[in-house]
Amino acid sequence: MLKKIFISAVLLIAVLSFVVSLLGGNNNGEPQAAIGDRVAVINISGPIVDGASVEQTLLGGTQAATSGQLMKEIRDAAADNTVKALVLHINSPGGSVTAAEEVGRELARFKETTKKPIVTSMGDQAASAAYWLASYSDVIYANSSTLTGSIGVYMPYMNVEDLYKKIGVYTGKIKSGPHKDILSPDREMTPEERAILQGIVNQLYGEFIDVVAAGRKMDPAVVRGLADGRVYTGKQAKELGLVDEIGNYYDALEAAGKLIGVSGVPEIKEKPANKPWQLLFEARLNDLILGQLEQALQGAGAEVNAAPVPKAER
């Protein structure tokens, strides 16, 4: 019985995958045009976070730009001989320092190993960690109204100790060391803890300064003078040397094309966004597969005992 259910599940996966490929692919019999020199466009939309893949909404948009997906796209572009340049299409308020560091390392590797140019196009905003990534570009385009800069690092925390007391909530911890519950919201931060955290922020801030100074070929002291956390408009950023040109996405594409010897807007390689029906269909497919496997396990009398997982969290 279990074997029959397993075979049915495999066949179901194969049939539904074939249907998805028919609906999403090119199946009209038309010949594919030969691929020439092109530009890989990497979209960095939403907060920049650490993670494996981009989460898409049912309307086709993205909730965040994950470091795993961005690194994969950069590596795919580096391995593609038809890709002669990279365009970062950024509309992001920033995000995780670690995620920016991960993606930045891949951008640096792309430039070092391929010797191919990187161009950035800024949308509504390209601030903080998003500007960190833009700094790896050879040319940065922004609109006059783009909000960019915000060069700096912060570590948020909250103290609700008085609120807890007011509603009669009292907390306690058994901890292995005096700083294990650092940033705990139920007590005041000690001066020693504040100094520890400030040291971390200062280190990361210094790394941010170094990335911008190297990428923009500016004196680190000059960058530090601009890096008080404030945002600049694209026009202001150009006057300060943080942006090269005022222009939109297609201006950036043309600039990338010019760098690789292509006149006008070059052919692009871009990761397609899933259509809403695909997301719904794939979600339904997952439900069906999981349902088949669950039935198979139940039919075989399988019993699963999940072991407790130790955690080291704050």
**What separation, in Å, do the N-terminal and C-terminal C-alpha atoms of the chain show?**
47
Q: Rounded CA gap, 191 and 186, in Å?
A: 16
Q: Which residue has the tokens 């490929």?
A: 21
Exposure string of 158-196, with b = 16+ CB inside 10 Å and e = fewer, is eeeeeeeeeeeeeeeeeeeeeeebbebebeeeeeebeee
Q: Which residues are catalytic?
A: 128, 180
Cβ distance 119 to 259 under 8 Å? yes
Closest CA to 153 of 103, 223, 227, 79: 227
Give how far the C-alpha of residue 276 lies from the chain's centroid of Cα atoms, to the nearest Å. Answer: 21
